[in-house]
Amino acid sequence: MKPSIDIVQRLMKVFAVSADNLLNDNENSVVELENHELNEQLILINQLDEEEKNALIKIINSMLTKKRMKDLLDGKAKF
pTM to 2 decimal places: 0.50
Whats the size of the chain, residue-wise? 79
CA-CA distance, 67 to 79, in Å (whole number)? 14
Within 10 angstroms of residue 45's Cβ, the number of other Cβ atoms is 13
- Identify the segments of the chain with pLDDT beneath 50: none
Residue 55 confidence (pLDDT): 94
pLDDT tens per residue, range 31-42: 566 667 887 888
Residue 1 confidence (pLDDT): 65
